[in-house]
């Protein structure tokens, strides 16, 4: 809501992905159609730049196994010229999409997982 209020002229440049299945059968159908795990919660596309934002509540803990799919998706975005971030606040999200000095934190999260941690706290 805040994005569209701040930027009404950019309507349609931000969308969310509902990457959840309603049942086991629905999940199988989605996988058969090409659905993959880890797709960003928010996707911003503007001026030819694709940015994926994975939303994490500050202080929340997530299993490393779950984060691996998100990291793989993030790498795919980066390898194709896009940008990818884990964000923990509305302010950080706006810094990312306005490109105000925020660097991707994907490597940082990946290093924590590689060190053997079973959970990561944001």
Whether pTM > 0.75 for this model: the answer is yes
Can you list the positions of beta strands (E) in 1-122?
A: 14-16, 42-46, 49-55, 61-63, 83-87, 119-121
**Which CATH architecture does the domain made up of 2-121 adopt?**
3-Layer(aba) Sandwich (3.40)
pLDDT digits (tens, 9 = 90+) for 22-72: 788 887 887 788 777 788 899 999 989 999 999 999 999 999 988 999 999
β pairing state of 14-16 and 119-121: unpaired
Judge whether 53 and 87 are in contact, CB under 8 Å.
yes
CA-CA distance, 40 to 91, in Å (whole number)? 18
The span from the CA of 41 to the CA of 13, in Å, is 14
Distance between CA atoms of 40 and 89, rounded to whole angstroms? 15
Map out the domains of the chain as residue ranges: 2-121
- The per-residue pLDDT for range 109-119, each reduced to its tens digit, is 999 899 999 99
């Amino acid at each position: 809501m805040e994005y569209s209020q701040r930027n009404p002229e950019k309507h349609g440049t931000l969308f969310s992905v509902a990457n959840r299945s309603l049942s086991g059968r629905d999940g199988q159908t989605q996988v058969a159609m090409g659905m993959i795990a880890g797709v960003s919660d928010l996707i911003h596309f503007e001026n030819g730049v694709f940015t994926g934002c994975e939303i994490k509540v500050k202080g929340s803990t997530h299993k490393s196994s779950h984060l691996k799919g998100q990291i793989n998706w993030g790498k795919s975005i980066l390898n194709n010229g896009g940008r990818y971030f884990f964000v923990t606040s509305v302010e950080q999200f706006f810094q990312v999409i306005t490109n105000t000095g925020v660097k991707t934190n994907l490597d940082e999260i990946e290093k924590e997982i590689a060190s053997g941690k079973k959970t990561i706290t944001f």
